[in-house]
């Protein structure tokens, strides 16, 4: 392995000022990488990684195979980067908006009249920062068992979105990651200008940066790209079932050489979208804060990793994965691409960052909140429901602490403090008692949610919940499986485990994959269903055999 000499270029990162100088032990870094990647010596899918300081390469490794034929991964092999496409799409959209080609304050219905009136309050800026509240089309396709066809193109995704419920909360008031918003952003520029965002990005952003291997999906994985796969019997490997044609939430392939060229242009200040994107990031609302990703701002997760301010985005789908982790005050960048379904790009990225940071790496930068000796966390354990949109929260007692799980991509350990329960730094979530036996969830000073216990009512017994249900978004079928219920899936994108109830009197059934089904009877005695699968909330149905 050839290691490039370090050339420190004084530069001002995009979103933070320079801090202390980082002295990387390259030899120790290489040894750690060799240990991390030693399992990828055989014939199996692999990836490519790099560590950069101020845009200059300290370490570059490629490993494994790009295709089952045995082609080795090279630094110019394009990989499907899934949601890591979002920072690039956001940059293209922001650049177009600053050029007067697109108005980010317009309602999405101004450009997408096929969307119903319930989407009127959503703007393109809400989509940019994931504060739109839009139900996620990918998760909706899982919930409705629509198969890959529903997410095979932006046109198919828009048709599905038009059938889904409106925003799960008032747009602009909180964060919820939604691929639907980035479908709208990608399509918005093309509708407003009759110009291709992909062409604009290749001409104005990728080309000047030297990102020569960039490839956009057109319904299938490009021939030159690495094929995602998983280990198979006999020491071989087989491709995963890759199928998506959406652009905006993903749809882009980049090589390690592309990402290195991007980081160099970024730190040199020569990347065309950097100044525009910086302005968009700085104006991102406090409502885009999230206890796990930090503040989501125009395609970047601005938070803290290993005790240092970080700018990050990652992605993963269909066995492919990517992570771009940048520590702006230190000038350190970690790049990971993989086509191995059994490899976590984010775990690998953080291990590389830990090795590069050396003694500067920390697990967190804040003290654990002091325990409140009078707090009995066991009384908080169980199921809770958001008052406004029926999103379930599950609280699990863990000795003096508690684990909190919500369907909206949140799973976090909390420990007691003087006011209730809090996430140790860098988490930002706090849980404390509310009125009338409720709980308050504080995401920030600007955002507090109220939780209450499910109210026992006229919930149908489990056996009566089985059957076929129909609603505005489509139809679903639940089958009885012992004391549990299974969502029947004939074309699963993701197979969901059975739904179980801890208290049948509430009519709420949960499954381990982040889904909830709430069965009830309406005033006419009909069995109704409200189904939520992760970021697709509040899908409502009525059982078909009911008059």
Query: Does residue 14 sit within a domain?
Result: no
Do residues 313 and 299 touch, judged by C-beta distance below 8 A?
yes
Residue 442 belongs to a domain with what CATH number? Answer: 2.40.128.50
Q: Is residue 187 domain-shared with residue 44, that is, in the same domain? A: no
Write down the residue that tokens 């709420």 correspond to.
508
Q: Give the range among 271-285, 288-302, 524-538 with minimum mean pLDDT.
A: 271-285
Most confident of 116-125, 281-290, 353-362, 371-380: 116-125
The tokens for 367 are 């003290």
% pLDDT > 70, the chain:
87
CA dist 466 and 476 (Å) reads: 10
Single pTM value for the model: 0.88
Q: Is residue 185 domain-shared with residue 206, that is, in the same domain? A: no
CA dist 123 and 107 (Å) reads: 4
Q: Is residue 115 domain-shared with residue 217, that is, in the same domain? A: no
What is the CA 329 to chain-centroid distance, rounded? 25
CA dist 45 and 63 (Å) reads: 8
Q: What is the pLDDT of residue 277?
A: 63
Question: What is the pLDDT of the chain when averaged over all its residues?
Answer: 84
Q: Is the pLDDT of residue 239 over 50?
A: yes
The residue out of 330, 360, 390 marking a domain boundary is: 360
Into how many domains does the chain fold? 4
When pLDDT is cut at 50, 70 and 90, the band that residue 426 belongs to is low
- Which tens digits make up the pLDDT trace of 61-109? 999 999 988 899 999 999 999 999 999 999 888 888 888 989 999 999 9
Q: Is residue 301 domain-shared with residue 265, that is, in the same domain? A: yes
Query: Does residue 289 sit within a domain?
Result: yes
- Which tens digits make up the pLDDT trace of 148-204? 889 889 999 999 999 999 998 889 888 889 999 999 999 998 888 888 888 888 888
Q: Is residue 242 domain-shared with residue 346, that is, in the same domain? A: yes
User: For residue 174, which of 468, 449, 363, 464 has the smallest C-alpha distance?
Assistant: 449
Write down the residue that tokens 């991509």 correspond to.
409
Span 252-270, average pLDDT:
91
Q: Is residue 148 domain-shared with residue 225, that is, in the same domain? A: no
Q: Is residue 522 domain-shared with residue 466, that is, in the same domain? A: yes
CA dist 134 and 165 (Å) reads: 8
- Which tens digits make up the pLDDT trace of 10-61? 233 344 444 567 888 899 999 999 999 988 877 889 999 999 999 999 999 9
CA dist 301 and 278 (Å) reads: 13
The residue out of 193, 212, 233 marking a domain boundary is: 193
Task: Tell me whether residue 83 is exposed, middle or buried, using C-beta atoms within 10 angstroms of its C-beta: 0 to 12, 13 to 18, 19 or more.
Answer: buried
Query: Does residue 175 sit within a domain?
Result: yes
Q: Is residue 268 domain-shared with residue 135, that is, in the same domain? A: no
Query: Does residue 424 sit within a domain?
Result: yes
Rg for the chain (alpha carbons), in Å? 24
Query: Does residue 372 sit within a domain?
Result: no
The residue out of 452, 472, 507 marking a domain boundary is: 452
When pLDDT is cut at 50, 70 and 90, the band that residue 273 belongs to is low
Do residues 176 and 127 touch, judged by C-beta distance below 8 A?
no
Q: Is the pLDDT of residue 275 over 80?
A: no
| Residue 375 half-sphere exposure toward CB, CA atoms < 13 A | 24
Span 392-414, average pLDDT:
77
When pLDDT is cut at 50, 70 and 90, the band that residue 146 belongs to is very high
Q: What is the pLDDT of residue 41?
A: 73
Residue 466 belongs to a domain with what CATH number? Answer: 2.40.128
Residue 233 belongs to a domain with what CATH number? Answer: 3.40.710.10
Query: Does residue 308 sit within a domain?
Result: yes
Q: Is residue 187 domain-shared with residue 259, that is, in the same domain? A: no
* Sheet containing 467-471: order of strands: 484-487, 474-481, 467-471, 536-543, 527-533, 515-521, 508-511
φ, ψ of residue 342 in degrees (nearest 5): -95, 20
Name the residue range of residue 517's domain: 462-543
Contacts of 340 (CB under 8 A, 6+ apart): 40, 44, 45, 46, 47, 64, 228, 229, 230, 319, 321
Higher-confidence residue: 385 or 372? 385
Q: What is the pLDDT of residue 281?
A: 67
Q: What is the pLDDT of residue 477?
A: 97
Query: Does residue 2 sit within a domain?
Result: no
Q: Is residue 184 domain-shared with residue 199, that is, in the same domain? A: no
Query: Does residue 349 sit within a domain?
Result: yes
Q: Is residue 391 domain-shared with residue 504, that is, in the same domain? A: no
Q: Is residue 476 domain-shared with residue 496, that is, in the same domain? A: yes
State the pairing for strand pair 47-53/308-317. Answer: unpaired
% pLDDT > 90, the chain:
45
């Amino acid at each position: 392995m050839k290691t490039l000499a370090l050339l420190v270029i004084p530069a001002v990162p995009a979103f933070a000022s320079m801090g202390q100088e980082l002295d990387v032990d390259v030899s120790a870094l290489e040894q750690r990488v060799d240990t991390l990647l030693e399992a990828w010596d055989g014939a199996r899918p692999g990836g490519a990684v790099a560590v950069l300081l101020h845009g200059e390469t300290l370490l570059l490794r490629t490993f494994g195979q790009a295709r089952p034929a045995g082609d080795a991964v090279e630094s110019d092999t394009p990989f499907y980067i899934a949601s890591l496409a979002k920072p690039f799409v956001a940059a293209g959209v922001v650049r177009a908006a600053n050029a007067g080609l697109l108005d980010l304050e317009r309602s999405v219905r101004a450009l997408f009249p096929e969307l119903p009136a319930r989407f009127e309050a959503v703007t393109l800026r809400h989509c940019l920062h994931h504060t739109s509240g839009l139900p996620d089309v990918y998760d909706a396709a899982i919930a409705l068992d629509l198969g890959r066809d529903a997410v095979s193109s932006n046109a198919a995704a828009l048709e599905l979105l038009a059938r889904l419920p409106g925003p799960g909360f008032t747009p602009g008031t909180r964060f919820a990651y939604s691929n639907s918003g980035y479908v709208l952003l990608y399509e918005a520029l093309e509708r407003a200008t009759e110009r291709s965002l992909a062409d604009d990005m290749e001409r104005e952003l990728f080309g000047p940066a030297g990102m020569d291997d960039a490839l956009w999906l057109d319904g299938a994985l490009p021939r030159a790209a690495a094929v995602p796969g998983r280990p198979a019997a006999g020491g071989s490997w087989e491709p995963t079932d890759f199928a998506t044609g959406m652009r905006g939430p993903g749809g882009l392939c980049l090589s390690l050489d592309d990402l290195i060229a991007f980081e160099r242009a970024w730190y040199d200040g020569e990347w065309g979208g950097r100044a525009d994107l910086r302005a968009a990031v700085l104006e991102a609302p406090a409502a885009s804060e999230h206890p796990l990703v930090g503040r989501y701002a125009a395609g970047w997760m601005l938070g803290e990793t290993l005790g240092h301010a970080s700018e990050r985005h990652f992605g993963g789908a269909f066995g492919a994965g990517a992570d771009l982790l940048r520590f702006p005050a230190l000038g350190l960048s970690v790049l990971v691409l993989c086509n191995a379904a059994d490899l976590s790009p984010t775990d690998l990225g953080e291990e590389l960052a830990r090795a590069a940071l050396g003694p500067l790496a920390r697990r967190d930068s804040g003290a654990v909140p002091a325990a409140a000796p009078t707090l009995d966390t066991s009384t908080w354990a169980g199921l809770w429901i958001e008052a406004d949109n029926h999103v379930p929260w599950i609280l699990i007692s863990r000795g003096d602490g508690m684990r909190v799980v919500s369907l909206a991509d949140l799973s976090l350990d909390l420990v007691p403090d003087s006011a209730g329960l809090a996430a140790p730094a860098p988490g930002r979530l706090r849980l404390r008692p509310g009125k009338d036996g409720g709980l308050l969830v504080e995401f920030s000073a600007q955002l507090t949610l109220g939780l209450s216990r499910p109210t026992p009512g006229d919930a149908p017994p489990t056996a009566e919940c089985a059957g076929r249900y129909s609603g505005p978004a489509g139809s679903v079928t639940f089958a009885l499986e012992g004391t549990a219920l299974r969502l029947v899936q004939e074309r699963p994108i993701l197979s969901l485990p059975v739904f179980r109830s801890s208290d049948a009197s509430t009519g709420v059934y949960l499954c381990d994959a982040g889904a909830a089904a709430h069965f009830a009877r309406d005033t006419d005695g009909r069995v109704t269903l409200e189904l939520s699968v992760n970021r697709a909330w509040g899908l409502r149905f009525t059982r078909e055999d009911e008059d």
